[in-house]
Amino acid sequence: MKRLQAFKYELMPRGEQQRQMRRFAGSCRFVFNKALGLQKERYEQGEKKLGYAGLCKRLTEWRNSTETVWLAASPVHPLQQALKDLERACTNFFAKRADFPRFKKKGQSDSFRYPDPKQIKFDQGHSRIFLPKLGWLRYRNSRDVLGAVKNVTLSSSGGKWYVSIQTEREAEQSLPSATTAIGIDVGIARFATLSDGSYIAPLNSFRKHEQRLARYQRGMSRKTKFSNNWKKAKARVQRIHVRIGNCRRDFLHKATTTISQNHAMIAIEDLQVRNMSKSAVGTAERLGKNVRAKSGLNKAILDQGWAEFRRQLDYKLAWNGGHLIAVAARNTSRTCPCCGQVSADNRRTQERFACVGCGFEENADVVGALNVLRAGHARFACEVSGAVMSPAAGTHRSDSGAAQCRA
Ligand SMILES: [Zn+2]
């Protein structure tokens, strides 16, 4: 099985390298925005959007024109990759998977990518990497890179630069050491409830940092824009954002690693996180309902990172030889796992589930997880018999994992 994995390190660039990286990231942003402007114009005039090749042709023109001759100082591959990113964003928009791509702003995910491994020299022994027009860059070697280098992304966040090295290697298909199957119900009060009754408390890293963030943001708004004090205040705000992100990533990785190592099959509700967190305000013609409550919920959902949770579970399970099954979220909170009765009365309060038919009582989230697990088993049986093959469920699966699950 081919295993793609990225390894990320903090860079220790020299002053000149830092300035160069800022310049390159800025050039990539410029190219992205210019190309997006072009596509937008064509879209509004009803013309067909330009493909990647067409955009590359324009890029060559821009690099040769006297107005934007400075673009030629940046390596051409990362600039082309910016066009590739735009191309993908447009494709996602036309496939109705995403909103129309937006213009990039300075300081928001500044990054650029070197796609050609032939141009990259990687010297792990001396903790350094060679990139075109940047030279040798030193990095904090916190762990070994496994596999062959495929591409390299440089990014900046919170005033620091990072290198992410994407690799590919042939990994043996491991058999899951665990044999159990489990259902997971995600929620606000409990981040994830497992069908065995255990649960993971939410982190809400954002909440904890929120007050401090608000204070710093207020401080920033009182300063004269673009003054030195304003820049300092902005750096403080950005540092908090970085810290929140780090807390969340750490939390999610720990949670998904533990769960994926302990279970061979995981069933999870197929929540459309994107729909759930869609704007509560509504449009000008149709104002939204419960704006306040929903914006609170939106924040909590995004805070929790459910989509990322599911993504990590999916690939980590695949690495461990298990697999993830997504099931439709219908009546999972209202069905009795004991007698199967479906009734809204079964759940009178948020936390408590009490069946009106057989009197079965349990925590409502655990009931949700049990129902998800049952639906997962049913779905799994269908898939194994070849009746249904749905792309909605996990894409990586193995027969060895299947055998383990059914045992
Ligand atoms: Zn019942």
Catalytic residues: 185, 269, 365
pLDDT one-digit tens code per residue, 55-75:
999 999 999 999 998 999 999
- Alpha carbon of 192 to ligand 1 centroid (Å): 23
3-state secondary structure 11-49: EECCHHHHHHHHHHHHHHHHHHHHHHHHHHHHHHCCCCC
The span from the CA of 149 to the CA of 3, in Å, is 12
The span from the CA of 296 to the CA of 198, in Å, is 26
The span from the CA of 366 to the CA of 372, in Å, is 10
Categorize the per-residue pLDDT at 405 as very low, low, confident or very high, splitting at 50, 70 and 90. very low
- The lowest-confidence range among 45-54, 104-113, 302-311, 321-330 is 302-311
The span from the CA of 53 to the CA of 211, in Å, is 48
Per-residue pLDDT at 387: 47
- Alpha carbon of 343 to ligand 1 centroid (Å): 10
Per-residue pLDDT at 274: 53
State which residues have CB under 5 angstroms from ligand 1, the bound ion: 336, 338-339, 341, 355, 357-358, 360
- The token pair at 197 is 């009754």
Query: How do beta strands 135-139 and 2-12 pair?
Result: antiparallel
- Alpha carbon of 337 to ligand 1 centroid (Å): 7
- The residues pairing with 253 across neighbouring beta strands, listed in sequence order, are none
The span from the CA of 201 to the CA of 239, in Å, is 25
- The residues pairing with 146 across neighbouring beta strands, listed in sequence order, are none
Q: Which residue has the higher pLDDT, 246 or 218?
A: 218
The span from the CA of 373 to the CA of 108, in Å, is 40
Does 227 score more than 80 pLDDT?
Answer: yes
Per-residue pLDDT at 404: 34
- Please give the helix or strand (H or E) that residue 132 lies within, else none: none
Q: Which residue has the higher pLDDT, 391 or 137?
A: 137
The span from the CA of 222 to the CA of 229, in Å, is 10
Q: What is the residue whose two structure tokens read 């205040």?
A: 233
The span from the CA of 119 to the CA of 319, in Å, is 30
What length does the chain have?
407
- Alpha carbon of 325 to ligand 1 centroid (Å): 25
pLDDT one-digit tens code per residue, 172-226:
877 777 788 999 988 877 889 999 999 988 776 667 787 888 899 999 999 999 9
Per-residue pLDDT at 94: 86
Per-residue pLDDT at 383: 73
Residues 6+ apart with CB under 8 A from 195: 182, 183, 184, 185, 366, 369, 370, 372, 373
Give every strand in the sheet of 265-269, ordered side by side: 199-200, 192-194, 181-186, 265-269, 323-327
- Overall average pLDDT of the 225-251 stretch: 88
- Alpha carbon of 29 to ligand 1 centroid (Å): 58
- The token pair at 247 is 């807390």
Looking at the chain, the whole-number percentage of residues with pLDDT higher than 70 is 85
Query: How do beta strands 352-354 and 323-327 pair?
Result: unpaired
Query: pTM of the prediction?
Result: 0.76
Per-residue pLDDT at 288: 56
pLDDT one-digit tens code per residue, 287-331:
555 555 555 655 665 666 888 899 999 999 988 888 899 988 778
- Give pairs for 198-203: CB < 8 Å, separation 24+: 199/365, 199/366, 200/255, 202/303, 202/304, 203/247, 203/248, 203/251, 203/304
- Alpha carbon of 362 to ligand 1 centroid (Å): 11
Mean pLDDT of the chain: 84
Q: Give me the half-sphere count of Cα atoms (radius 13 Å) on the Cβ side of residue 200.
A: 23
- Overall average pLDDT of the 236-257 stretch: 87
Per-residue pLDDT at 304: 63
Highest mean pLDDT among 207-211, 334-338, 387-391: 334-338
Does 39 score more than 60 pLDDT?
Answer: yes
The span from the CA of 72 to the CA of 58, in Å, is 13
List Cα–Cα distances, 2 to 168, 263, 399, in angstroms: 7, 22, 16
Could you tell me if 145 and 7 are in contact, meaning their C-beta atoms sit under 8 angstroms apart? Answer: yes
Looking at the chain, the whole-number percentage of residues with pLDDT higher than 90 is 47
The span from the CA of 4 to the CA of 12, in Å, is 25
- Alpha carbon of 374 to ligand 1 centroid (Å): 15
Instruction: Tell me the helix, strand and coil percentages in the chain, rounded to 5.
Output: 45, 20, 35
**Per-residue buried b or exposed e for 161-193, using 16+ beta carbons within 10 Å of the residue's own CB:** bbbebbbbeeeeeeebebeebbbbbbbeebbbb
Per-residue pLDDT at 289: 54
